[in-house]
Amino acid sequence: EQLAGHLPTGLKGLDEALFGGIPFGVITELVGPAGIGKTQFCLKLSLLASLPMRHGGLDGQVIYIDMESKFSSKRLIEIGAQSFPEIFHMRGMAQEMAGRILVLRPVSLAEFTESLQQIKILLLERRVKLLVIDSMAALASGEFEHGASKINPLGWHISFLKSVAELSRIPIVVTNQVRSQSNDDTWRYNFQVGTRRQDLEDTPKYDSHLIAALGIHWSHAVTIRLILETISGERFIKVAKSPMSPALAFPFSITSSGISL
Ligand code: ATP
Ligand code: MG
């Protein structure tokens, strides 16, 4: 797969493992339990996509589909002010940066479909450098419960997102919540911190959880999967699926300045 570029995450080890960051042109999935930091990660990425290039950003706009009303521009500005004080202390810059992030809040599958239609136009009109969907799992539960026998109602959306990534060459980042695997050592310890490991024994296990919610079609549409979880009280981000990186895990923390390694 030919990749048109990367959005650096600012997490050094992770960026190295991903050969520069979140790749353009494909879907990257952030998976993990409630409260682990998926939304915090998306806020940081949104900032990095919108920052001026001289500060390591992509100088672009962001479309943020906020399915659970968890986007917070206040928190975004806090992360920005702490991480990039030289920009955020300039008059009007915090507002300008926040203004580059267009937040859409669909409340039903029909509205989500509409949001995706809207994206087609936004991509033509704006210099979009990142599309975030936080979260996709929200669509698979609640209003849209569907048993194994029924057709996945998200099939069209998944194909659409994949084609948006490919045609517009932007990174698409999607979060999904999974239950924590607190009593399952196989799931938790297959990844070695900062070291190479060949087999990905826990990936099928993860798949079976998410396939139940979003279907195998989704699982195949994702090019990079990053799993966030806590091990012995410490937060880790793991490269669980990637066409070019080994299975690596990096410890991270969340502070007032956002996600950091
Ligand atoms: P969910 O699946 O419920 O959406 P999530 O993975 O998106 O969860 P986040 O909302 O990204 O989780 O992360 C929440 C965590 O971020 C909190 O538990 C807290 O530890 C941390 N956090 C949030 N704001 C701050 C802050 N200002 N300073 C330090 N830590 C913070
Ligand atoms: Mg969240």
Q: How many Cβ atoms from other residues are within 10 Å of residue 108's Cβ?
A: 12
CA 137 / ligand 2 centre spacing (Å): 11
| Shortest-distance Cα residue to atom 29 of ligand 1 | 255
* Residue 163 vs residues 90, 114, 133: alpha-carbon distances, Å: 38, 16, 15
| Shortest-distance Cα residue to atom 14 of ligand 1 | 35
Nearest to 35 by CA among 246, 177, 220, 143: 177
C-beta of 34 in contact with ligand 1 (< 6 A): yes
The whole-number pLDDT of residue 209 equals 56
The whole-number pLDDT of residue 194 equals 44
C-beta of 40 in contact with ligand 1 (< 6 A): yes
* Residue 27 vs residues 123, 136, 163, 220: alpha-carbon distances, Å: 16, 12, 10, 10
- Give me the chain's average pLDDT, please: 84
The yes/no answer to whether this complex scores an ipTM above 0.90 is: yes
C-beta of 176 in contact with ligand 1 (< 6 A): no
Share of the chain above pLDDT 70, in %: 80
Determine the average pLDDT of the residues in 166-186: 77
The whole-number pLDDT of residue 193 equals 45
CA 34 / ligand 2 centre spacing (Å): 7
Determine the average pLDDT of the residues in 133-140: 84
Beta-carbon contacts of 111 under 8 Å, excluding residues fewer than 6 positions away, are none
The whole-number pLDDT of residue 153 equals 72
* Residue 79 vs residues 72, 83, 249: alpha-carbon distances, Å: 11, 6, 24
The whole-number pLDDT of residue 210 equals 59
Lowest-confidence pick of 113-122, 151-160, 227-236: 151-160
Which of 36, 236, 252, 260 to mutate for ligand 1's pocket (most ligand atoms within 8 Å of CB)?
A: 36
C-beta of 258 in contact with ligand 1 (< 6 A): no
| Between 183 and 57, the higher pLDDT residue | 57
Beta bridge partners of 239: 226
Measured from the Cα of 30, ligand 1's closest atom is: 6
The whole-number pLDDT of residue 151 equals 56
Query: Would you state the torsion angle of the CA atoms of residues 141, 68, 106, 209, taken in this order, to the nearest 10 degrees?
Result: -30
Determine the average pLDDT of the residues in 174-196: 54
